[in-house]
Structure 1
Amino acid sequence: MVNHLNRLIPLLFIFGFIAYTLIAVQNKPRVLVLHSYHIGYSWTDRVNIGIAQVLKDEAFSVRYHYMDTKRHSGSGFKSRAGTRAQKLIDSWEPHVIIAVDDNAQKYVTKHYLNHPKINVVFSGVNAKPEAYGFDQADNVTGILERRPLPIVKESILKIFFPDSINIADSNPVDVVFITDNSTTSKLNIELIKQYTWAPEINLDIIKVCSYKQWQEAVLLANQQSDLILLNGYKTLVPAKDAEGKDPCNSKGKDRVAVKEVIKWTQENTANVPVLGFSSSYVNDGGQIAFSASPVEQGHVASEMAIQIIHGKRPSELPIESAKQFTFYMRESLFERYPDIEIPFVYKALARATGNYYESDKK
């Protein structure tokens, strides 16, 4: 009898510990980080850095889910990705969803507005909050992604065309903004249209869907503009789809490799400087770029999530806009543009944030 008890006590202890652990895990606040894009996309990875820095010391149960809609931009795939995310949410029932970028809002979080148990903190959103009904929901807050347009304008003038600032009657700088047809690009176009570029800058906008259209736009801008501002290029399709049809009206999934797009663009813009408008441009082979800080997007969203879990209502936390920007540059920039001078503070920022590329190998 004693021997049986001696064997039973350790087993009871083990089972008790397992039960306690399961209950503790179940009772932990649950946070779902819902990404529109995929692991390995530089913006997404850096948002995750910001989230991890804030949540690392919190006793939360955190899960990550990636919709992968940057590499698969068809509406059918996006809808299915949204359905998969909703199934995860309905089964796991997170206390807070940190939803990153616009597709996560369009295909998922809008279905949880005013949910009694699930709260939403958005991040990296380019559209206005009312586009997703957030202005009518008391369980939603977040941070808007806004490109640092004043910094971009100032940099175009001071870095690339400093003489235009000092000449009172100088002709405005002709800038061409070239972008693909992605959801993010469409939203950025609306923001750019609302910004005041004149009188110092004349800005033309060209939106394309195929690689052929992209090449035509770049070649024309190389001959007729003073500077090219590049935005999205990751959803460009080949000149023809597999059936030889117009790719812009095709449901095909083929996309032109991004590094090929940037390599060709660099090789065919000898006459004008090219400035990137996204966090991944320099990583893909470009020389210089500005973007909103993805780390800030992760930081602010996570801090809001913590406040909500500790009792704050999302409606008590005002929606914020991006306040920080990130600068990216490649050292070979100075070979391509030997006459430009990058302010020391910009170079220091790029180095401090790991966005200074010392060679073309990185």
Structure 2
Amino acid sequence: MTRNTLRIALMLVFMALFLALIYVEKTRAKHVLIIHSYNTDYSWVEAINEGIERVLEDQRGVFTRYHYLDLKNHGGEDFRRTATQLAIRVVEETQPDVLVLFDDAAQVLVGQRFYEGDGEGTPGIKVVYGGVNGDPASYYGDSNSVSGILERKPMAVIRDIALTILHEQVAQGEAPITDPKIVFIGDTSDSITADLPHYSSIDWAPFEWLEPVQVGTFDDWKEAVQRGGEEADVILVTNYQQIRETPGGPFIRPASQAMKWADANATVPIVGMGWTNSEDGAMLSVSVSPYEQGEVAIREALAVLEGAEPMGAITSKQFLVHICHPALARRGVTVPFIHEAFARATGNYYTEGC
């Protein structure tokens, strides 16, 4: 055997051993499949993933895979059905030890299919959820194999900030409003529909909480914003990514044009409650932290992998303040310094492009 032949043989043996080691490690590794209702072009998803990766950075022995249903960009029933079938196939092929699902659509389309098993002896997959606006019991009943973190917007904080803005307007010389009214306007997405009971659940005093408005098209949105300025003193917004150009038509893109139009045409202040609202043009927003959603969900998944009992449902505790300075300037509004400082410290103070 020549020296070159021996070298090649040793290289092949080394490569075979290396590949065998990879196979053994993957076989031993616990598998976590993470499925998002949306896609990474929605920055909420990117931030959730950042929270997940912070936790996984030093984690060994866990194999993770991401999959995206992409339902914010596609609203037709045909796409929804195809996306569901593809996700189900991914779960069946991956056979994860834990299935982590974000936002409500993934619970309905994927989680409900796998958490109980097939009724023929195949056990269910442990499910961890995040970004859930609805009641988990409506998706999973009283199952003790499901746990996660709810996305609950800090409505009392949002109420107080809205009141602060009205007080600021008085300080700028506008007449006081004796019986202020507040109205929410959003799209018809699953998450908004699931969240409405939470919006209405708090004591809104001194505001009168008007009936929330959900719209289907851009024209409906414009009409609702104009009517909101006539009937209310503050408008709340969050999701508009599933507003359509026409009934049954495609979603408006970029979705940010809905927020920009509202800011330019509303006759009363608009306060955002979503992650992207101020980036899109709302002068001030308060949102749930997507980083917390990702971190808590993946920590729970890891705990379950180690044999811990599922923690059940916990409520989001972190929120972020976002400010679009040009929008504030257009309305001549000054927000308390603590809000500005918080937004700047977290990289959510926008000086241009919003």
Judge same fold: TM > 0.5, yes or no.
Answer: yes
- How far did 1:35 drift? 0.5
For 2:319 and 2:187, locate their aligned partners in 1 and report how far apart those are by CA, in whole Å: 22
For 2:58 and 2:135, locate their aligned partners in 1 and report how far apart those are by CA, in whole Å: 32
For 1:330 and 1:125, locate their aligned partners in 2 and report how far apart those are by CA, in whole Å: 27
Tell me if structure 1 keeps the 8 A contact 2:144–2:312. Answer: no
The match for 1:349 is 342
Q: What is the DSSP-based 3-state SS (H/G/I as helix, E as strand, rest coil) of the residue aligned with 2:144?
A: coil
The match for 1:200 is 207
Q: Tell me the alpha carbon deviations over residues 314-358 of structure 1, each in whole angstroms, 9 at most, x when there is no partner.
A: 2xx1311111111111111331232x4323332222122221112
The match for 2:120 is none
Letter matched to residue 151 of structure 2 = E
For 1:170 and 1:40, locate their aligned partners in 2 and report how far apart those are by CA, in whole Å: 41
- How far did 1:181 drift? 1.1
Query: Given the superposition, is the C-alpha separation of residues 16 and 268 from structure 1 closer, same or farther in structure 2, using an over 3 Å criterion?
Result: same
Residues 1:147 and 2:153 aligned together: yes
For 1:222 and 1:306, locate their aligned partners in 2 and report how far apart those are by CA, in whole Å: 48
Q: What is the DSSP-based 3-state SS (H/G/I as helix, E as strand, rest coil) of the residue aligned with 1:98?
A: strand
Q: Select which of 258, 261, 267 maps to 1:261.
A: 258
Letter matched to residue 227 of structure 1 = V
Q: What is the DSSP-based 3-state SS (H/G/I as helix, E as strand, rest coil) of the residue aligned with 1:194?
A: coil
Tell me if structure 2 keeps the 8 A contact 1:70–1:234. Answer: yes
Structure 1: give runs of 5+ residues left out of the alignment. 240-246
- How far did 1:257 drift? 3.4
For 2:124 and 2:235, locate their aligned partners in 1 and report how far apart those are by CA, in whole Å: 47
Query: Given the superposition, is the C-alpha separation of residues 17 and 273 from structure 1 closer, same or farther in structure 2, using an over 3 Å criterion?
Result: same
Tell me if structure 2 keeps the 8 A contact 1:73–1:182. Answer: no
For 2:303 and 2:26, locate their aligned partners in 1 and report how far apart those are by CA, in whole Å: 20
- How far did 1:263 drift? 2.1
Q: Select which of 292, 296, 301 maps to 1:305.
A: 301
Letter matched to residue 120 of structure 1 = V
Q: Select which of 192, 202, 207 maps to 1:185.
A: 192
For 1:40 and 1:5, locate their aligned partners in 2 and report how far apart those are by CA, in whole Å: 51
For 1:69 and 1:294, locate their aligned partners in 2 and report how far apart those are by CA, in whole Å: 18
Matches within 5 A, 1:47-86: 47-59=48-60, 60-86=62-88
- How far did 1:105 drift? 0.4
Tell me if structure 2 keeps the 8 A contact 1:82–1:108. Answer: yes
For 1:7 and 1:40, locate their aligned partners in 2 and report how far apart those are by CA, in whole Å: 46
Letter matched to residue 204 of structure 1 = E
The match for 1:156 is 162
Residues 1:221 and 2:218 aligned together: no
The match for 2:312 is 318
CA RMSD of aligned residues (A): 2.2
Matches within 5 A, 1:124-135: 124-133=131-140, 135=141
Worse-superposed segment, 83-92 or 14-23: 14-23
Worse-superposed segment, 32-41 or 225-234: 225-234
Query: Given the superposition, is the C-alpha separation of residues 204 and 300 from structure 1 closer, same or farther in structure 2, using an over 3 Å criterion?
Result: same
The match for 1:32 is 33
The match for 1:108 is 110
For 2:132 and 2:348, locate their aligned partners in 1 and report how far apart those are by CA, in whole Å: 23
Q: Select which of 270, 278, 281 maps to 1:282.
A: 278
For 1:321 and 1:283, locate their aligned partners in 2 and report how far apart those are by CA, in whole Å: 25
Letter matched to residue 41 of structure 1 = Y
- How far did 1:290 drift? 1.2
For 1:159 and 1:11, locate their aligned partners in 2 and report how far apart those are by CA, in whole Å: 71
Tell me if structure 2 keeps the 8 A contact 1:173–1:202. Answer: no
Query: Given the superposition, is the C-alpha separation of residues 40 and 256 from structure 1 closer, same or farther in structure 2, using an over 3 Å criterion?
Result: closer
Letter matched to residue 217 of structure 1 = A
Using structure 2 for the length normalisation, give the TM-score.
0.90
For 1:7 and 1:193, locate their aligned partners in 2 and report how far apart those are by CA, in whole Å: 72
- How far did 1:150 drift? 0.8
Using structure 1 for the length normalisation, give the TM-score.
0.88
For 2:220 and 2:11, locate their aligned partners in 1 and report how far apart those are by CA, in whole Å: 71
Letter matched to residue 325 of structure 2 = E
* Number of aligned positions between the proteins: 342
Worse-superposed segment, 58-67 or 152-161: 152-161
